[in-house]
Amino acid sequence: MKKTTFGSKLYTALVFLFLYAPIAVLIIFSFNSGKSTSVFEGFSLYWYKELFNDAATLTAFKNSMIVAVISSIIATVMGTTAATAIYGYKNKLFKSSIMTVTNIPMMNPEIVTGVSMMLLFVFIGSIFGKTGTLGFVTLIIAHVTFELPYVILNVLPKLRQTDPHLAEAAQDLGCTPAQAFFKVVLPAIMPGIISGLMMAFTLSVDDFIISYFVSGTSSQTLPIRIFSMTKRRVTPDMYALSTLIFLAILVLLIVSNIISARGDKKLSKKTKGGGK
Amino acid sequence: MNKKSSLMSRLAGAPYIVWAALFIIVPLCMVAYYAFTDSNGVFTLNNLSDIGKYADTFILSIWLGLLATVICLVVAYPLAYIMAQKGPEKQSSMTMLIMLPMWMNFLLRTYSWMTILEDNGLLTTALNFIVDNINNLMGAELSPVHLINTRGAVVVGMVYNFLPYMILPIYTVMLKTDRSLVEAAQDLGGNKLDVFRNVTIPLSVPGIVSGFTMVFVPSVSTFYISQKLGGTGTILIGDIIETQFQTANNFHLGASLSFVLMILIFICLAVMNRFSDDDGGVII
């Protein structure tokens, strides 16, 4: 028994080594005083300073944030209403065809999604005799589109878990259907909405392939900026950037884990108290 | 009373349905339209027949994608199994550790492998040190290791980038598996291997299928990984599509390549889904 535990520990350690070695390399070389990303010459914060002086990268970061915030809010609102509607549909065929369409952006290779939207925008532009239709608007439309399925698939299970009698009870007690939705259903599915929102936001910040095809020169996001930087020889300021992103995500994940752990505790207390 | 609410909830779906039609269905029709027309908008099959030239690229992409997917499966399965046996506290922190690299920018993660695999990079230097020693001590004639710009490097990049997509679905399915089934199999006299082979593996098939598609699809269609780690020798179908749209400006050829890629992948997904009676709806 002891032997297998050791084996499994070793195996786990090896896989995590594989997963984290490149990230460790990134972090270590972000502190390199030299220009190289393979020979460590000494510790310095030079590249962090350089990063904050790089206007193009900062603009790209700002663009990424704008696109992520706007698109994830639109996707969350539209996706949540869509999920409640889909949940209520009685017609099985209609329901399953909507779900099939919803799954397309997740199943389709990202490059095909990106290319297909680019063709649509270029085509619409050519109808109106305009070139350069690609920009912020197309970028946000594309992001909303690929975020929507994730929001819907996060909200739907929560709706299924919610007792449908609760909304009915609220209406019997004098709520209008809208009130019943906002006062009873919405709080019940909130965890799903929030995880959908967070997923949409992170997917948007991280997306490169789709953005690469639908963004214009004025709407470069951070991943596109990184792409154009990595075409040349990369200097460690990109590594400094990714170190900062890594830290930000680490903090975000820890905080959200603590929040959800607290929520679980509350929930388990409630269910224990309520009995069955 | 319910009539009003059901009408409202039905209307609530309308914006999404319009959106999905406009930005999911219509763009796919655009791909088909561009694939079957020439630059004057006249119907043609020339774009599709041109694809014959890229048959080798398609085959190479599928081969490398499959290889990466199988390696992911072999690496991920034991880890998912180990994770599923742990206590809830450890499980959630391990899940977090697996997801964390996914949220790092994928371009930079791939780029970092360039640093590791470079000819004077960390891993190559270490391996060549060993090779030199073997040559000196045993008089062997091993040639120095070369890692970057090989197909192997591309597969490593794919495995690295998409491994979490294989671990998490398998792990999720294993968590949901009814423990009592395993116990029942043990009670009925099955030894560890029997139980693993006849109970654990069959029950985890939906997770395997979902992981398989989640790794295979991005691997087959990648272009960045092959550009950075494969050099000029490993050109995948994604690279060719990217070139058509970004530099060669031949949208019609690009669209027909995307069209064929999409059809190929949907066929693969359909075949995969036949292996599982689940609808493949395992979400992480």
Specify the residue for token string 């598996």.
Answer: B177
How confident is residue A26, by pLDDT bands cut at 50, 70 and 90?
confident
Chain centroid, CA A143 distance in Å: 10
Tokens of B197: 């082979």
* Structure-model confidence comparison of residues B67 and B200, the more confident one: B67
- Average pLDDT, rounded, for chain B: 86
For residue A2, the model assigns a pLDDT of: 43
The answer, yes or no, to whether ipTM is higher than 0.90 is no
Closest-approach residue (CA) in chain A for B160: A19
Closest-approach residue (CA) in chain A for B74: A15
pLDDT at B71 over 90: yes
Mutate to test the interface with A, among B108, B212, B266 (most CBs of A within 10 A): B108
Minimal C-alpha gap between A274 and chain B (Å)? 24
pLDDT at A242 over 90: no
Contact A29 B115 (CB under 8 A): yes
SS3 content of chain A, % helix, strand, coil (to 5): 80, 0, 15
Q: Which amino acid is at B123?
A: L
Quote the percentage of chain B above a pLDDT of 70. 93
- Average pLDDT, rounded, for chain A: 86
Check residue A182 and report its DSSP letter. Answer: I
Specify the residue for token string 């965890």.
Answer: A191
Q: Please tell me the distance from the alpha carbon of residue A213 to that of residue A113, in angstroms, as a whole number.
A: 9
Q: Does A208 touch chain B (CB under 8 A)?
A: yes
Tokens of A187: 């709080």
Q: Cβ(B228)–Cβ(A231) under 8 Å?
A: no
pLDDT in tens, B117-130: 888 777 888 888 88
For residue B6, the model assigns a pLDDT of: 62
For residue B261, the model assigns a pLDDT of: 93
How confident is residue A274, by pLDDT bands cut at 50, 70 and 90?
very low
Identify the three-state secondary structure at position A222: helix
Q: Does A206 touch chain B (CB under 8 A)?
A: yes
Domains of chain B in start order, with CATH, are 54-275 (1.10.3720.10)
Closest-approach residue (CA) in chain A for B121: A38
Mutate to test the interface with A, among B3, B4, B5 (most CBs of A within 10 A): B5
Q: Cβ(A128)–Cβ(A169) under 8 Å?
A: no
Contact A22 B5 (CB under 8 A): no
Average pLDDT, integer, range A267-271: 59
Longest dimension (CA), chain B: 90
For residue B27, the model assigns a pLDDT of: 95
Q: Does A174 touch chain B (CB under 8 A)?
A: no
Minimal C-alpha gap between B142 and chain A (Å)? 25
Contact B4 A11 (CB under 8 A): no
Contact A109 B217 (CB under 8 A): yes
Q: Does A255 touch chain B (CB under 8 A)?
A: no
Chain centroid, CA B65 distance in Å: 7
Q: Does A216 touch chain B (CB under 8 A)?
A: no
| Least confident range of A3-12, A69-78, A218-227 | A3-12
Contact A242 B104 (CB under 8 A): yes
Contact A107 B217 (CB under 8 A): yes
pLDDT in tens, B187-229: 888 888 888 888 888 889 889 998 998 999 999 999 999 998 9
Listed residue (A1, A147, A22) closest to A74, CA to CA: A147
pLDDT in tens, B156-169: 999 999 999 999 99
Minimal C-alpha gap between A188 and chain B (Å)? 17
Q: Which residues of chain B does A202 touch, with a Cβ-Cβ cutoff of 8 Å? A: 103
Listed residue (A51, A65, A26, A112) closest to A220, CA to CA: A65
Closest-approach residue (CA) in chain B for A13: B79
Minimal C-alpha gap between B254 and chain A (Å)? 8
Q: Which residues of chain A does B238 touch, with a Cβ-Cβ cutoff of 8 Å? A: 109, 111
Instruction: Name, in order, each residue with C-beta under 8 angstroms of B159's C-beta and a sequence gap of 6 or more.
Output: B68, B71, B72, B75
pLDDT at A46 over 80: yes
Quote the percentage of chain B above a pLDDT of 90. 42
How confident is residue B281, by pLDDT bands cut at 50, 70 and 90?
very low
Q: Which residues of chain A does B242 touch, with a Cβ-Cβ cutoff of 8 Å? A: 111
Closest-approach residue (CA) in chain B for A232: B228
Listed residue (B260, B263, B265) closest to B240, CA to CA: B260
pLDDT at A130 over 60: yes
Q: Please tell me the distance from the alpha carbon of residue A174 to that of residue A134, in angstroms, as a whole number.
A: 50
Q: Please give the C-alpha separations between residue A239 and each of A245, B121, B225, B249, in angstroms, as whole numbers.
A: 10, 16, 18, 32
For residue A266, the model assigns a pLDDT of: 63
Q: Does A110 touch chain B (CB under 8 A)?
A: yes
Specify the residue for token string 């004639």.
Answer: B141
Check residue B233 and report its DSSP letter. Answer: T
Identify the three-state secondary structure at position B281: coil
Contact B283 A242 (CB under 8 A): no
For residue B139, the model assigns a pLDDT of: 77
pLDDT at B28 over 90: yes
How confident is residue A276, by pLDDT bands cut at 50, 70 and 90?
very low
For residue A82, the model assigns a pLDDT of: 93
Contact B75 A115 (CB under 8 A): no
Average pLDDT, integer, range B241-268: 91
Q: Cβ(A205)–Cβ(A222) under 8 Å?
A: yes
Contact B101 A250 (CB under 8 A): no
Q: Which residues of chain A does B283 touch, with a Cβ-Cβ cutoff of 8 Å? A: 153-154
pLDDT in tens, A149-204: 999 999 999 999 988 888 888 888 988 888 888 888 899 999 999 999 988 998 89
For residue B280, the model assigns a pLDDT of: 43
Instruction: Name, in order, each residue with C-beta under 8 angstroms of B33's C-beta and a sequence gap of 6 or more.
Output: A119, A123, B255
Minimal C-alpha gap between A273 and chain B (Å)? 22
How confident is residue A273, by pLDDT bands cut at 50, 70 and 90?
very low
